Chain A
């Protein structure tokens, strides 16, 4: 088999942990988690959430790092190549891996767009539009510079203007120039970091940005926890805010609902980046003698720290403290919470401009470390499929990603295209990927190879627990949850999408992307098989 040209690896253990943590820590931690917890029973949601963390996330993350490095040691860095070698060179799993590259690749198509909203909002706070004072420039369409927004409706309008959610193609007029301009800068930054490579681009950037994320978080947490009933109204104290997030609401009833278990498991997948091919790809660049057991646990727990300890305390409580019942009705919607409710809160908070800037800068930094991790598997896929140089690969990935983002930006009415991209790439595919991956580990890679890989360079010995946890807990748990999800949510969502023209076009585009990945994977795997056969024949003749 032709050896891939690239043999990159991470520079240090801290570097890889920060890169994987950066990949996991993103909008899911600071916006999706509080919204999911508050709208799925508050404290009661934490029971299925912690069970999913222990039963699925921790064992699967360990196995995924090990699986990635197993492939990386054999010159493979994309899910296609890693699945192929880990399954004992079975073409079926190679093609499955190629198809599952879809997950991170498609998530990036809309994630870049959302990342640019965060950058735009951070710039707006710097410019002073969303709060008094500031530098006095406006990037929002139809808003004069220097004006602060003074009502909830104005924040909603600013959000609609930024996203173009009022009608399709809204961003392709003069009003969308600033949004698309910021988007272009974000996209260039992402592709440049990927072009720089794993250790010189991704690792260095994550090492520089991780302290910034922590500093911004600490500033906001300190501000939130030192506010007590800023409006003086009943039911809007700090404890009321914390209670809205953490009080178990009808615990017995909540835990009987399959939708709550689904939400908890989906949240774990979304936030830890497992089964999206990003962790698998990053794991493949870990050196043979370096630890993966402790590194995988540390990156998973870093993500959980940001999600539960930071996201769980800094988002919902101030929304309740400043806006009371008006906020509680909209907290379940991720975008409303992040881009309408919180700017409204910062508008009423003393020094809100500074805290608003810190918050959106935090979101932007968290988002960019995630988005670069979504590009690397596609780049590795092209390397293995076509043997292209890094420059050529980055150019091809950039063109494909920008085509997808164009579809998202075109069908903006009600953000239907974004919703369709999110559903297939961040909800459906990770479940499917988790099932394929656990089946591969349990039935084809096997206990011994997994243990050997986890034990190589291990600082902590977890190998004897990981395989049984995956075989007897994670796999049945995932099969049951995925079954409920297909039965309950999947059919309804498909019917909902079929009724919207924008969704249908988006799905045709996504189907074409998936088909292209599968076709390229089939040809690549057949080529590998042919090369192996020729190699054997050559060996026999000699």
Chain B
């Protein structure tokens, strides 16, 4: 593995892993929006 290989691997994995971790953190800490009444599930209508 050359120095260029280490750099490309570290930069790529670092970028992807960093952004992915940040997304997971935001997903885990953000409150979920309540169901709005106009979006009620009516699957029964065509099943």
Contact = CB atoms under 8 A, between A and B. Distances in A.
A is bound by B: yes
Interface of A: 5-9, 12-14, 17, 42-44, 46, 50, 197, 199-200, 239-240, 242-243, 245-248, 251, 287-291, 294-295, 297-298, 301-302, 304-305, 308-309, 312, 383, 389-391, 457, 459-460
A247 B16 contact: no
Task: Give the secondary structure class of A's interface.
Answer: helix
Contacts of B26: 294, 298, 459-460
Interface residues of B, number: 35
Contacts of B2: 243, 247-248
Given A304-B20, A389-B46, A457-B33, A17 B40 contact: no
A174 B38 CA distance: 55
Interface string B4-20: 11111101110111011
B1 A289 contact: no
B35 to A, nearest CB: 7
Contacts of A6: 42-43, 45-46
A247 B1 contact: yes
Nearest to B28: A14
B5 A305 contact: no
Given A6-B45, A287-B35, A289-B33, A305 B4 contact: no
Contacts, number: 122
B30 A247 contact: no
A13 B32 CA distance: 7
Given A8-B43, A243-B1, A291 B33 contact: yes
B9 A43 contact: yes
B5 A291 contact: no
A14 B27 contact: yes
B6 to A, nearest CB: 8
17 contacts: A6-B42, A9-B41, A12-B32, A13-B27, A17-B27, A44-B8, A46-B8, A199-B41, A243-B5, A246-B1, A247-B1, A248-B4, A251-B4, A298-B23, A302-B20, A309-B13, A460-B26
Given A240-B1, A248-B4, A308-B12, A7 B41 contact: yes
Contacts of B34: 289
B23 to A, nearest CB: 4
A46 B9 CA distance: 9
A311 to B, nearest CB: 11
A62 to B, nearest CB: 12
Nearest to B13: A309
B36 A289 contact: yes
Contact of B43 (A13, A42, A200, A246): A200
Nearest to A41: B8
A197 B47 contact: yes
A287 B36 contact: yes
Given A199-B41, A309-B17, 17 more contacts: A6-B46, A7-B39, A7-B41, A46-B11, A240-B1, A242-B5, A246-B9, A247-B4, A247-B5, A248-B5, A288-B39, A289-B33, A301-B19, A304-B20, A308-B13, A312-B12, A389-B47
